[in-house]
Amino acid sequence: MRFSTAKILLSIMVTLAAATASAATTWNMATPYPDANFHTQNDLWFAKHVKEATNGQLIIRVHSNGSLIKHSQIKQAVQTGQVQIGEIFMSILSNQNAVFAADSVPFLATNYAQARKLWQVQEPLVKKLLAEQGAQLLYSVPWPPQGLYTEKPVDSLADLKGIKLRANNTEESKLARLIGATSTQVEVPDVPQAFSTGIVQAMITSPSTGVNTQAWDYVKHFYTINAWIPKNMVFVNKQALAALPESQRKAVLKWAKKAQARGWKVSQKVAKSKIVTLKQHGIDVEKPSDKLMSGFRNVGKQLTQDWLNRAGQQGQDIVAAYKKLQ
Protein backbone atom coordinates (compact mmCIF):
# COMPACT_ATOMS: atom_id res chain seq x y z
CA MET A 1 0.00 0.00 0.00
CA ARG A 2 2.68 2.45 1.07
CA PHE A 3 4.79 1.38 -1.86
CA SER A 4 2.06 2.12 -4.39
CA THR A 5 1.33 5.55 -2.84
CA ALA A 6 4.99 6.39 -3.21
CA LYS A 7 4.88 5.15 -6.74
CA ILE A 8 1.88 7.33 -7.58
CA LEU A 9 3.54 10.34 -5.97
CA LEU A 10 6.67 9.69 -7.91
CA SER A 11 4.81 9.42 -11.18
CA ILE A 12 2.98 12.69 -10.43
CA MET A 13 6.31 14.36 -9.76
CA VAL A 14 7.81 13.03 -12.98
CA THR A 15 4.79 14.23 -14.96
CA LEU A 16 4.99 17.66 -13.34
CA ALA A 17 8.70 17.92 -14.03
CA ALA A 18 8.13 16.97 -17.67
CA ALA A 19 5.34 19.53 -18.00
CA THR A 20 7.57 22.22 -16.52
CA ALA A 21 10.43 21.27 -18.78
CA SER A 22 8.32 21.34 -21.90
CA ALA A 23 6.82 24.71 -20.95
CA ALA A 24 10.26 26.35 -20.71
CA THR A 25 11.37 28.53 -23.59
CA THR A 26 14.97 28.57 -24.75
CA TRP A 27 16.45 31.57 -26.53
CA ASN A 28 19.73 31.28 -28.34
CA MET A 29 21.90 34.34 -27.92
CA ALA A 30 24.67 34.94 -30.46
CA THR A 31 27.55 37.11 -29.26
CA PRO A 32 30.91 38.02 -30.86
CA TYR A 33 33.37 38.24 -27.97
CA PRO A 34 35.17 35.63 -25.82
CA ASP A 35 33.87 34.25 -22.53
CA ALA A 36 36.48 36.14 -20.53
CA ASN A 37 35.31 39.47 -21.93
CA PHE A 38 33.23 41.65 -19.61
CA HIS A 39 30.46 42.09 -22.18
CA THR A 40 30.01 38.32 -22.41
CA GLN A 41 30.14 38.10 -18.62
CA ASN A 42 27.43 40.72 -18.42
CA ASP A 43 25.29 38.77 -20.91
CA LEU A 44 25.71 35.64 -18.78
CA TRP A 45 24.73 37.63 -15.70
CA PHE A 46 21.62 38.87 -17.54
CA ALA A 47 20.73 35.33 -18.67
CA LYS A 48 21.17 33.99 -15.14
CA HIS A 49 18.85 36.60 -13.66
CA VAL A 50 16.22 36.15 -16.35
CA LYS A 51 16.25 32.43 -15.65
CA GLU A 52 15.83 32.99 -11.92
CA ALA A 53 13.16 35.64 -12.35
CA THR A 54 11.13 33.37 -14.61
CA ASN A 55 11.54 30.27 -12.40
CA GLY A 56 13.53 28.60 -15.12
CA GLN A 57 10.85 29.21 -17.73
CA LEU A 58 13.01 31.37 -19.97
CA ILE A 59 16.50 30.08 -20.63
CA ILE A 60 18.92 32.27 -22.57
CA ARG A 61 21.76 30.21 -23.95
CA VAL A 62 24.75 32.42 -24.69
CA HIS A 63 26.86 31.34 -27.69
CA SER A 64 29.95 33.52 -27.32
CA ASN A 65 32.96 34.33 -29.51
CA GLY A 66 31.05 34.16 -32.79
CA SER A 67 30.68 30.39 -32.26
CA LEU A 68 27.08 30.12 -33.42
CA ILE A 69 26.80 33.08 -35.79
CA LYS A 70 29.61 35.24 -37.14
CA HIS A 71 29.62 38.81 -35.88
CA SER A 72 28.74 40.31 -39.27
CA GLN A 73 25.65 38.09 -39.48
CA ILE A 74 24.27 38.37 -35.97
CA LYS A 75 21.95 41.29 -36.67
CA GLN A 76 20.38 39.56 -39.66
CA ALA A 77 20.08 36.32 -37.68
CA VAL A 78 18.10 38.10 -34.95
CA GLN A 79 15.91 39.98 -37.42
CA THR A 80 14.96 36.77 -39.22
CA GLY A 81 14.46 34.82 -35.99
CA GLN A 82 17.29 32.38 -36.68
CA VAL A 83 18.35 33.25 -33.15
CA GLN A 84 16.15 35.14 -30.72
CA ILE A 85 18.70 37.48 -29.23
CA GLY A 86 22.12 38.83 -30.13
CA GLU A 87 24.91 41.23 -29.32
CA ILE A 88 27.00 43.29 -31.71
CA PHE A 89 29.44 46.18 -31.80
CA MET A 90 27.01 48.97 -32.64
CA SER A 91 29.20 50.87 -35.08
CA ILE A 92 29.69 47.87 -37.39
CA LEU A 93 26.30 49.04 -38.70
CA SER A 94 27.63 52.44 -39.78
CA ASN A 95 27.08 51.53 -43.43
CA GLN A 96 23.40 50.83 -42.77
CA ASN A 97 22.92 54.10 -40.95
CA ALA A 98 25.53 56.51 -39.64
CA VAL A 99 23.44 56.99 -36.47
CA PHE A 100 24.80 53.63 -35.27
CA ALA A 101 28.33 55.05 -35.42
CA ALA A 102 27.81 58.25 -33.41
CA ASP A 103 29.89 56.72 -30.61
CA SER A 104 32.80 56.05 -32.98
CA VAL A 105 33.23 59.66 -34.04
CA PRO A 106 36.66 60.63 -32.69
CA PHE A 107 36.78 63.24 -29.90
CA LEU A 108 32.99 63.63 -29.64
CA ALA A 109 32.70 61.73 -26.33
CA THR A 110 36.02 60.92 -24.69
CA ASN A 111 35.05 60.01 -21.13
CA TYR A 112 32.25 57.97 -19.56
CA ALA A 113 30.19 60.98 -18.45
CA GLN A 114 30.16 62.28 -22.01
CA ALA A 115 29.54 58.81 -23.42
CA ARG A 116 26.43 58.56 -21.22
CA LYS A 117 25.12 61.85 -22.57
CA LEU A 118 25.81 60.81 -26.12
CA TRP A 119 23.94 57.55 -25.52
CA GLN A 120 21.04 59.51 -24.06
CA VAL A 121 20.57 61.29 -27.40
CA GLN A 122 21.56 58.36 -29.62
CA GLU A 123 19.41 55.72 -27.90
CA PRO A 124 15.94 56.77 -29.12
CA LEU A 125 17.19 56.84 -32.72
CA VAL A 126 18.87 53.44 -32.44
CA LYS A 127 15.71 52.04 -30.84
CA LYS A 128 13.59 53.34 -33.69
CA LEU A 129 15.92 52.01 -36.39
CA LEU A 130 15.94 48.55 -34.82
CA ALA A 131 12.16 48.56 -34.34
CA GLU A 132 11.73 49.25 -38.05
CA GLN A 133 13.77 46.13 -38.68
CA GLY A 134 11.88 43.71 -36.45
CA ALA A 135 14.17 43.98 -33.46
CA GLN A 136 14.00 45.57 -30.03
CA LEU A 137 16.92 47.16 -28.26
CA LEU A 138 17.52 45.67 -24.79
CA TYR A 139 20.72 47.23 -23.49
CA SER A 140 23.93 48.88 -24.53
CA VAL A 141 27.28 48.84 -22.75
CA PRO A 142 30.44 50.80 -23.64
CA TRP A 143 33.94 49.51 -24.20
CA PRO A 144 36.77 51.25 -22.36
CA PRO A 145 38.23 54.19 -24.34
CA GLN A 146 40.17 53.12 -27.41
CA GLY A 147 43.95 53.26 -27.65
CA LEU A 148 46.71 52.40 -30.09
CA TYR A 149 48.77 49.19 -29.90
CA THR A 150 52.04 49.14 -31.84
CA GLU A 151 55.24 47.19 -31.93
CA LYS A 152 57.51 50.21 -32.42
CA PRO A 153 57.31 53.50 -30.54
CA VAL A 154 55.09 56.08 -32.23
CA ASP A 155 55.71 59.81 -31.83
CA SER A 156 53.60 61.18 -34.66
CA LEU A 157 51.19 59.96 -37.32
CA ALA A 158 54.11 59.85 -39.74
CA ASP A 159 55.38 56.81 -37.79
CA LEU A 160 52.20 54.98 -38.76
CA LYS A 161 52.56 55.50 -42.49
CA GLY A 162 52.34 52.24 -44.37
CA ILE A 163 51.57 50.24 -41.24
CA LYS A 164 49.07 47.36 -41.46
CA LEU A 165 46.32 48.29 -39.06
CA ARG A 166 43.67 45.91 -37.79
CA ALA A 167 40.24 47.55 -38.05
CA ASN A 168 37.05 46.59 -36.22
CA ASN A 169 34.68 48.54 -38.48
CA THR A 170 34.64 50.73 -41.59
CA GLU A 171 35.21 53.85 -39.46
CA GLU A 172 38.63 52.53 -38.43
CA SER A 173 39.36 51.53 -42.04
CA LYS A 174 38.73 55.14 -43.03
CA LEU A 175 40.97 56.37 -40.24
CA ALA A 176 43.69 54.02 -41.50
CA ARG A 177 43.38 55.46 -45.00
CA LEU A 178 43.65 59.02 -43.71
CA ILE A 179 46.89 58.29 -41.85
CA GLY A 180 48.39 56.48 -44.83
CA ALA A 181 48.08 53.03 -43.30
CA THR A 182 46.47 49.97 -44.82
CA SER A 183 43.79 48.10 -42.93
CA THR A 184 42.14 44.73 -42.68
CA GLN A 185 38.93 44.12 -40.76
CA VAL A 186 39.52 41.31 -38.31
CA GLU A 187 37.14 40.02 -35.65
CA VAL A 188 38.45 39.68 -32.09
CA PRO A 189 38.68 35.85 -32.12
CA ASP A 190 40.96 36.09 -35.19
CA VAL A 191 43.20 38.90 -33.92
CA PRO A 192 46.07 36.73 -32.55
CA GLN A 193 46.33 34.84 -35.84
CA ALA A 194 46.18 38.06 -37.87
CA PHE A 195 49.18 39.36 -35.89
CA SER A 196 51.13 36.09 -35.97
CA THR A 197 50.73 35.76 -39.73
CA GLY A 198 51.67 39.39 -40.33
CA ILE A 199 48.31 40.42 -41.78
CA VAL A 200 48.24 43.21 -39.19
CA GLN A 201 50.92 45.01 -37.16
CA ALA A 202 48.94 47.43 -35.04
CA MET A 203 45.41 47.95 -33.71
CA ILE A 204 43.18 50.56 -32.12
CA THR A 205 41.02 49.01 -29.45
CA SER A 206 40.47 48.86 -25.69
CA PRO A 207 42.72 47.57 -22.90
CA SER A 208 40.03 44.91 -22.47
CA THR A 209 40.41 43.54 -25.98
CA GLY A 210 44.18 43.91 -25.72
CA VAL A 211 44.11 41.58 -22.72
CA ASN A 212 41.61 39.16 -24.29
CA THR A 213 43.85 38.84 -27.37
CA GLN A 214 47.11 38.74 -25.36
CA ALA A 215 48.46 41.74 -27.21
CA TRP A 216 51.84 41.37 -25.43
CA ASP A 217 52.61 38.45 -27.71
CA TYR A 218 52.71 40.83 -30.71
CA VAL A 219 53.13 44.45 -29.65
CA LYS A 220 55.08 46.46 -27.07
CA HIS A 221 53.33 49.81 -26.80
CA PHE A 222 49.87 50.98 -25.84
CA TYR A 223 49.06 54.67 -26.34
CA THR A 224 46.04 55.94 -24.44
CA ILE A 225 44.49 57.96 -27.24
CA ASN A 226 41.05 57.83 -25.55
CA ALA A 227 39.33 59.56 -28.47
CA TRP A 228 36.08 57.61 -28.47
CA ILE A 229 34.06 55.16 -26.38
CA PRO A 230 32.18 52.80 -28.67
CA LYS A 231 29.42 50.49 -27.46
CA ASN A 232 27.93 47.07 -27.90
CA MET A 233 24.19 46.59 -28.06
CA VAL A 234 21.99 43.64 -27.21
CA PHE A 235 18.70 43.28 -29.00
CA VAL A 236 15.94 40.74 -29.39
CA ASN A 237 13.68 39.54 -32.17
CA LYS A 238 10.45 41.47 -31.67
CA GLN A 239 8.18 38.50 -32.28
CA ALA A 240 10.13 36.31 -29.87
CA LEU A 241 9.69 38.95 -27.19
CA ALA A 242 6.00 39.42 -27.99
CA ALA A 243 5.42 35.66 -27.81
CA LEU A 244 6.45 35.52 -24.14
CA PRO A 245 3.88 35.58 -21.35
CA GLU A 246 3.73 39.08 -19.90
CA SER A 247 5.50 38.22 -16.66
CA GLN A 248 8.47 36.82 -18.60
CA ARG A 249 8.56 39.79 -20.96
CA LYS A 250 8.65 42.10 -17.96
CA ALA A 251 11.48 40.10 -16.43
CA VAL A 252 13.51 40.41 -19.65
CA LEU A 253 13.04 44.18 -19.78
CA LYS A 254 13.71 44.65 -16.08
CA TRP A 255 16.95 42.67 -16.13
CA ALA A 256 18.02 44.28 -19.42
CA LYS A 257 17.86 47.64 -17.70
CA LYS A 258 19.89 46.30 -14.79
CA ALA A 259 22.40 44.68 -17.17
CA GLN A 260 22.94 48.05 -18.82
CA ALA A 261 23.55 49.78 -15.50
CA ARG A 262 25.87 47.00 -14.36
CA GLY A 263 27.74 46.96 -17.69
CA TRP A 264 28.55 50.68 -17.57
CA LYS A 265 29.97 50.29 -14.07
CA VAL A 266 32.02 47.22 -14.93
CA SER A 267 33.37 48.87 -18.09
CA GLN A 268 34.82 51.71 -16.03
CA LYS A 269 36.48 49.27 -13.64
CA VAL A 270 37.82 47.18 -16.51
CA ALA A 271 39.21 50.32 -18.18
CA LYS A 272 41.56 50.64 -15.19
CA SER A 273 42.23 47.02 -14.29
CA LYS A 274 43.12 45.89 -17.81
CA ILE A 275 45.69 48.67 -18.13
CA VAL A 276 47.36 47.12 -15.08
CA THR A 277 47.23 43.69 -16.74
CA LEU A 278 48.82 45.07 -19.90
CA LYS A 279 51.64 46.57 -17.84
CA GLN A 280 52.11 43.32 -15.91
CA HIS A 281 52.71 41.57 -19.20
CA GLY A 282 55.38 44.04 -20.21
CA ILE A 283 53.46 46.42 -22.43
CA ASP A 284 54.59 50.04 -22.19
CA VAL A 285 51.45 52.01 -21.47
CA GLU A 286 52.09 55.59 -22.49
CA LYS A 287 50.36 58.87 -22.96
CA PRO A 288 50.53 59.85 -26.62
CA SER A 289 52.87 62.73 -27.47
CA ASP A 290 51.31 66.13 -28.27
CA LYS A 291 52.43 65.65 -31.83
CA LEU A 292 50.64 62.32 -32.12
CA MET A 293 47.50 63.70 -30.48
CA SER A 294 47.35 66.72 -32.74
CA GLY A 295 47.71 64.36 -35.70
CA PHE A 296 44.77 62.32 -34.43
CA ARG A 297 42.77 65.50 -33.85
CA ASN A 298 43.27 66.53 -37.47
CA VAL A 299 42.22 63.15 -38.75
CA GLY A 300 39.34 63.22 -36.26
CA LYS A 301 38.05 66.45 -37.79
CA GLN A 302 37.93 64.87 -41.22
CA LEU A 303 36.20 61.78 -39.87
CA THR A 304 33.67 63.92 -38.02
CA GLN A 305 32.88 65.82 -41.20
CA ASP A 306 32.53 62.58 -43.12
CA TRP A 307 30.16 61.22 -40.45
CA LEU A 308 28.10 64.42 -40.45
CA ASN A 309 27.76 64.25 -44.22
CA ARG A 310 26.50 60.70 -44.02
CA ALA A 311 24.26 61.16 -40.98
CA GLY A 312 22.62 64.28 -42.45
CA GLN A 313 20.01 66.07 -40.37
CA GLN A 314 19.94 63.27 -37.78
CA GLY A 315 23.67 63.71 -37.25
CA GLN A 316 23.27 67.46 -36.77
CA ASP A 317 20.44 66.80 -34.30
CA ILE A 318 22.49 64.29 -32.32
CA VAL A 319 25.43 66.69 -31.98
CA ALA A 320 23.18 69.66 -31.12
CA ALA A 321 21.20 67.72 -28.47
CA TYR A 322 24.43 66.28 -27.06
CA LYS A 323 26.09 69.70 -26.80
CA LYS A 324 23.06 71.00 -24.94
CA LEU A 325 23.61 68.34 -22.28
CA GLN A 326 27.19 69.49 -21.59
User: Which residues form the interface with ligand PCA (CB under 6 A)?
Assistant: 89, 143, 146, 168, 188, 205-206, 208-209, 230
Evaluate whether 68 touches 11 at the Cβ level (below 8 Å).
no
Distance CA 107, CA 172 (A): 14
CB of 230 to ligand PCA, least distance (A): 5
* Residue nearest ligand PCA, CB atom distance: 206
Residue with Cβ nearer ligand PCA (172 or 237): 172
Name the residue type at position 197: T
CB of 225 to ligand PCA, least distance (A): 12
Half-sphere exposure of 134 (CA within 13 A, CB side): 15
CB of 231 to ligand PCA, least distance (A): 9
Half-sphere exposure of 7 (CA within 13 A, CB side): 4
| Total Cβ atoms within 10 A of residue 17 | 10
CB of 107 to ligand PCA, least distance (A): 17
Q: What is the DSSP string of 156-211?
A: SGGGGTT-EEEESSHHHHHHHHHTT-EEEE--GGGHHHHHHTTS-SEEEE-HHHHH
CB of 191 to ligand PCA, least distance (A): 8
CB of 168 to ligand PCA, least distance (A): 3
Q: What is the DSSP letter of 202?
A: E
Residue with Cβ nearer ligand PCA (37 or 248): 37
Residue with Cβ nearer ligand PCA (142 or 295): 142
Residue with Cβ nearer ligand PCA (193 or 309): 193
Residue with Cβ nearer ligand PCA (206 or 248): 206
Coil/strand/helix, residue 3: helix
| Total Cβ atoms within 10 A of residue 287 | 11
Residue with Cβ nearer ligand PCA (38 or 255): 38
